[in-house]
Amino acid sequence: MARVLILGGTAEASALAETLAEAGRREVIVSLAGRTAAPRSGPAPIRRGGFGGPEGLRAYLEAERISAVIDATHPFAGRISEYAARACAAAGVARVALSRPPWRAGTGDDWQGAAGEAGAAALLPPGARAFLALGRQHLEPFAARADVWFLIRVVDPPTAPLLPGPHLAITGRGPFAVEDERALITAHDITHLVARNSGGAGARAKLVAARELTVPVIMIARPPPPPEPVVETIASALAWLDATLG
Ligand code: 3Y8
């Protein structure tokens, strides 16, 4: 039975793994960077932690006799996508990237584009009350903005203050509901929402709530897409796998 490695960390990766594990035609392993204490489990075994760069990943592919890799990592996880493309090329293993389309502003959306978290921090007006839906890893550019009050959503409870200035940390793992996002924004008198353009359904609710409450969004633009071939949906990733493995 062919062995498939899914580089995970998104709802699409979880759904792919579930579909393949239930079909029972291929052996599936999901790999996570290991950013959260207790990732959501599913039917496929989960491997956590880095591989030690492209060389380590190539060695893993050979040792584990992986026949195909689906890179379904988060659109901002650029480094692992680059490493996976290099490792698969070096090991002669077929690989596709599954990258869902970015969110686009629609009618009623008030979005300002930002280049990275530093760009977003610079766009916040003095005295803003900003909801940072960015997780725990990319907060340093906001540390200098002691004039801003921050609501910070992270997956695991923080073990130390996330910022030196005034803020409140809350925990949450998507998918989120619009009415909960609306209540959160209202309860904390949020004046600006800062988000990364992750795409997908799992974290879109906050954007709908911001539009309904006419709260402006500072949207951090996506990094360049992963190396080709790239597909945008679970169905096309499954079709690629069948075409590749038969
Ligand atoms: C460990 C696996 C599922 C997967 C859920 C999706 C949806 C929620 C959008 C907000 C924005 C954020 C964050 C987010 C999204 C889904 C999806 C997606 C954004 C889990 C997961 C892991 C992570 C790591 C986490 C990061 C963080 C980013 C929170 C599991 C739940 C903000 C990204 O606080 C922290 O320590 C969080 C750290 C890395 C920041 C970042 O740098 O990207 N993801 N998120 C993955 C690993 O170890 O490899 O624990 O179960 C996966 C999900 N994250 O099955 O339903 O499909 O996109 N995750 C961002 O886009 O801005 C949340 O709060 O509104």
Q: CATH 3.40.50.720: does it fit domain 3-101+224-245?
A: yes
Nearest CA to ligand 1 atom 26: 135
Q: How does residue 123 score in pLDDT terms, banded at 50, 70 and 90?
A: very high
Which 3 state secondary structure label does DSSP give 209? helix
- How far away, in angstroms, is 138 Cα from ligand 1 center? 12
131-168, pLDDT tens digit by residue? 999 999 999 999 999 999 999 999 999 999 999 999 99
Token output for 161: 């203050």
Nearest CA to ligand 1 atom 9: 203
Mean pLDDT of 212-235: 97
Quote the pLDDT of residue 163: 98
pTM: predicted TM-score of the whole model, two decimal places: 0.96
Q: List pLDDT tens digits, range 38-47.
A: 999 899 999 9
pLDDT at position 149 = 98
Could you give the angle at the alpha carbon of 69 between the alpha carbons of 22 and 30, nearest 5°?
50
Task: Read off the pLDDT of residues 59-112 as tens digits, 9 standing for 90 and up.
Answer: 999 999 999 999 999 999 999 999 999 999 999 999 999 999 999 999 999 999
Give yes or no for residue 199 CB within 6 A of ligand 1: no
**Whether the Cβ atoms of residue 69 and residue 61 lie closer than 8 Å to each other:** yes
Sequence ranges of the domains in the chain: 3-101+224-245, 111-220
pLDDT at 141: 98
In this predicted structure, what is the pLDDT of residue 177?
97
Q: Which ligand 1 atom sits nearest the alpha carbon of residue 174?
A: 8
The residue whose C-alpha atom lies closest to atom 8 belonging to ligand 1 is: 174
172's CB contacts (< 8 A; 6+ apart) are: 153, 154, 155
Residue 147 token pair: 């004039």
Strands 66-71 and 111-114: unpaired
Domain at 111-220: CATH architecture: 3-Layer(aba) Sandwich (3.40)
3-101+224-245 and 111-220 share one CATH topology?
yes
